Structure 1
């Protein structure tokens, strides 16, 4: 756990930054999802990537409005993603939130992450044509 990692009772830019640093350190080491990130985010690009991620989560959780990107488009180009990748990402997210935030804040974070993950999964994996029956 990073030196500045401690239990936070409120969600602020600083506590969000601590959380994201701890979480993505786990992501990078993870045997399932770490290699996916390594293919698209070289080590030298992690500070820039974390800044974009901070902007995204700040916009989602703190309503800062800083993120202007397209998260679906960014994930869509990663053709090798599977539901198991999302499940592992969410498990690490929930674990880290529980380690660094009070129960209420951790629950808020993981609820938002699950909603976002469900939306991404629906866009990436839902295939309406597979529901059609042959006539």
Structure 2
């Protein structure tokens, strides 16, 4: 029987760990073929590294959604440490992520996860803009 929010009152919305894992796997299959995002990821991940990366990101999402405490990392630091990850990549990433969510999940679940992804993605985008701008310039808000 599928897990519900009654089974785990801390989770944000109704979704299972296996659904999260599936979305992440499908999403990264799309990423690898994406003309702009594929090369950025490919610069940091060899073919053999993808399963480990997907597992790590699935743990990130299970932590964020199911409150599993299965992820330990600092994704902002990782994104900042890669100069080829640009602020303009995040709208592309989010657009593709929303497509996968809509294709793989029921609408209410896709919508709930999409809202969370938008919030996290915007935080990463804004962090990259802020941390990479020259210290003597006024802040860029967009």
TM-score (norm 1): 0.86
Aligned to 1:64: 68
Aligned to 1:131: 138
Aligned to 1:103: 107
Aligned to 2:126: 122
Following superposition, the deviation at residue 129 of structure 1 comes to: 3.6
The count of aligned residue pairs is 124
Provide Cα deviations, 1:60-80, integer angstroms capped at 9, x if missing partner: 011101111000111011112
Aligned to 2:19: 15
Aligned to 1:81: 85
Aligned to 1:3: none
Quick one: distance in 2 between partners of 1:27 and 1:109?
A: 18
Greater relative contact order (Cα < 8 A, sep 6+): 1
TM-score (norm 2): 0.82
Give the number of the structure whose residues are more often helix, by fraction: 1
What SS does the corresponding residue of 1:106 show, helix, strand or coil?
helix
Quick one: distance in 1 between partners of 2:136 and 2:126?
A: 14
Structure 1 position 29 matched with structure 2 position 33: yes
- For structure 1, the 5+ residue unaligned runs are 1-9
- For structure 2, the 5+ residue unaligned runs are 1-13
Which of 48, 54, 65 pairs up with 1:50? 54
The two structures, once aligned, show a CA RMSD in angstroms of 1.6
